[in-house]
């Protein structure tokens, strides 16, 4: 059962946002000081920052180093990567140098990586996890996601997708119990994929479902399904992705941003947070990186209604709905 209470104190613009999920909970005290302190308590008991830094399409050691440095400086403590981004090694190396520079240790940050859809299945899953750990230079990851419900080598309509992803999950449960993966979750799972997984969970319900979610692509049924079961819904493409400006340039988003004296990106991110949805904006620009975590404001209920009624339906990333 989801409970959300939002109240704002006029003088200090302090918002107390409290959501309780079945198994996971949002425990945040959003003040003008510290959105960095906004955490979600996963169904494993770990505290996961609600704002993390996305790293898709960021490559090259010096670029990664600059991005992670700007992120740590701005207050990010969560970083999202994936085997298919081909940047795990560079992120691992950057963290090795930068954590001591910021007087931080491995335990102070939250690292997420994901299974390459080509590595689904018995044996290959464990091999892929170990390869990611080695590249990231760490003995564990905080969260490991099944990147995609489909298996690369199979057509989307093949019933074998379901059989093989169940094998993958069983293997991840073992690795989670061994402590290599502090939490396990999925990405791009629809309600149907999730129902199947929960029916055959091998004793572990996913902690997170990372999916495309923004005002041009809302998935209220999926959000409710996750929140009712204590699964954090984490949004990707919150800003519309790297190759499309339509969401950032949406007139309604722009009007709310102008009214609040914030950027469209900040409005899009705050819109998600106010619904208990985690975000992982990607940027290579130190100014954007810093802006994207300054979410010390409240979107009023009426502006939330306005944003929720944007009629555009546009998917900017891959579509998992045809995957059996
Ligand atoms: P995104 O975060 O929606 O958008 C990134 C784009 O927005 C970049 O072009 C960036 O340009 C621009 N941007 C960032 N901050 C801005 C600001 N304040 N003002 C104006 N423009 C801004 O796209 P995304 O990378 O696709 O998604 C975010 C993360 O989610 C990824 O990096 C990845 O970690 C994850 N992801 C997961 C999946 C999945 O299947 N699980 C799929 C896609 C993404 P600059 O770099 O120039 O700032």
| 167 CA from centroid of ligand 1 (Å) | 31
Residue of the nearest CA to atom 38 in ligand 1? 236
Asked if pLDDT for residue 12 goes beyond 80, the answer is no
Strand, coil or helix: what is 211? strand
Q: For ligand 1, pick from 53, 269, 281 the residue to mutate: most ligand atoms within 8 Å of CB.
A: 281
Q: Where are the beta strands (DSSP E) in 13-109?
A: 14-20, 25-30, 39-41, 47-49, 53-54, 78-80
**If you write DSSP's letter for every residue of 141-162 in order, what string do you get?**
BSEEEE--SS-TTS-TT-THHH
Instruction: Give the integer Cα–Cα distance in Å for 191 and 199.
Output: 12
Gap between the Cα atoms of 91 and 79, Å rounded: 9
Query: Tokens at residue 182, please?
Result: 């502090």
pLDDT tens for each residue of 229-276: 999 999 999 999 999 999 999 999 999 999 999 999 999 999 999 999
Alpha carbons 240 and 12: distance in angstroms, whole number:
32
Instruction: Name every residue whose Cβ is closer than 8 Å to that of residue 215 and which is 6 or more positions away in sequence.
Output: 247, 250, 252, 253, 268, 271, 307, 308, 310, 312
Structure tokens at 254: 């722009």
Contacts 24+ apart (CB under 8 A), 57-60: 57/85, 57/242, 57/282, 58/85, 58/87, 58/282, 58/284, 59/86, 59/87, 59/90, 60/90
Indicate whether 10 pLDDT > 80.
no
Could you tell which of 54, 60, 217 is best to mutate to test the pocket of ligand 1, judged by most ligand atoms within 8 Å of the CB? 54
What residues act catalytically?
85
What is the distance in A from the centroid of ligand 1 to the CA of 81? 12
Residue nearest to atom 48 of ligand 1 (CA): 283
231 DSSP assignment = P
3-state SS track over 248-314? CCCHHHHHHHHHHCCCHHHHHHHHHHCCCCEECCECCCHHHHHHCCCCCCCCCHHHHHHHHCCCCCC
Going from the Cα of 177 to the center of ligand 1, the distance in angstroms, rounded, reads 32
Query: Does residue 64 contact residue 85 with C-beta atoms inside 8 Å?
Result: no
Token duo for residue 80: 């999202």
Q: Say if CB 270 and CB 299 are below 8 A apart.
A: yes
Question: Does 280 contact ligand 1 (Cβ within 6 A)?
Answer: yes
To which residue do tokens 């069983």 refer? 170
- In DSSP terms, 32 is beta-bridged to none
Distance from chain centroid for Cα 296: 19
Contact in structure between 18 and 3 (CB atoms under 8 Å) = yes
Average pLDDT, the chain: 91
pTM of the model: 0.93
Tell me the per-residue pLDDT of 160-213, one tens digit each, with 9 for 90 and over.
Answer: 999 999 999 999 999 999 999 999 999 999 999 999 999 999 999 999 999 999
Q: How far apart are CA 113 and CA 264, in angstroms?
A: 28
User: For residue 27, what pLDDT band results from cuts at 50, 70 and 90?
Assistant: low
Does the structure show a pLDDT above 80 at 59?
yes
| Measured distance CA(66)–CA(271) in Å, rounded | 28
Q: Which ligand 1 atom sits nearest the alpha carbon of residue 287?
A: 18
Give the pLDDT band (50/70/90) at residue 30.
very low
């Amino acid at each position: 059962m989801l409970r959300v209470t939002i109240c704002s104190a006029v003088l200090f613009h302090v918002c107390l946002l409290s959501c309780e999920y079945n198994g996971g909970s949002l425990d945040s005290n959003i003040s003008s000081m510290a959105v960095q302190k906004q955490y979600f308590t996963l169904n494993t008991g770990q505290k996961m920052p609600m704002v993390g830094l996305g790293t898709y399409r960021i490559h090259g050691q010096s670029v990664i180093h600059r991005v992670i440095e700007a992120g740590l400086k701005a207050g990010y403590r969560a970083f999202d990567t994936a085997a298919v981004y081909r940047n795990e090694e560079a992120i691992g190396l950057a963290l090795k140098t930068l954590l001591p520079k910021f007087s931080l240790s491995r335990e102070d940050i939250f690292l997420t990586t994901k299974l390459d859809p080509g590595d689904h299945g018995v044996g290959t899953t464990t091999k892929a996890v170990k390869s990611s750990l080695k590249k990231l230079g760490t003995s564990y990851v905080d969260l490991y996601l099944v990147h995609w419900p489909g298996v690369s080598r199979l057509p989307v309509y093949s019933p074998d997708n379901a059989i093989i992803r169940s094998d993958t999950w069983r293997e991840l449960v073992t690795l989670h119990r061994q402590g290599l993966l502090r939490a396990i979750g999925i990405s791009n799972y629809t309600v149907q994929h999730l129902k199947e997984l929960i029916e055959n969970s091998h004793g572990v319900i996913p902690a997170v479902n990372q999916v495309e979610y923004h005002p041009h692509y809302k998935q209220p049924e999926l959000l409710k399904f996750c929140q009712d079961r204590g699964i954090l819904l984490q949004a990707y493409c919150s800003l519309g992705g790297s190759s499309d400006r339509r969401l950032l340039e949406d007139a309604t988003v722009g009007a709310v941003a102008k009214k609040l004296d914030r950027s469209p990106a900040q409005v899009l991110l705050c819109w998600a947070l106010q619904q208990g949805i985690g975000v992982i904006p990607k940027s290579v620009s130190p100014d954007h990186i810093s802006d994207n975590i300054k979410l010390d404001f409240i979107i009023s209920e009426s502006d939330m209604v306005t944003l929720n009624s944007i009629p555009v339906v546009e998917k900017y990333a891959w579509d998992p709905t045809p995957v059996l």
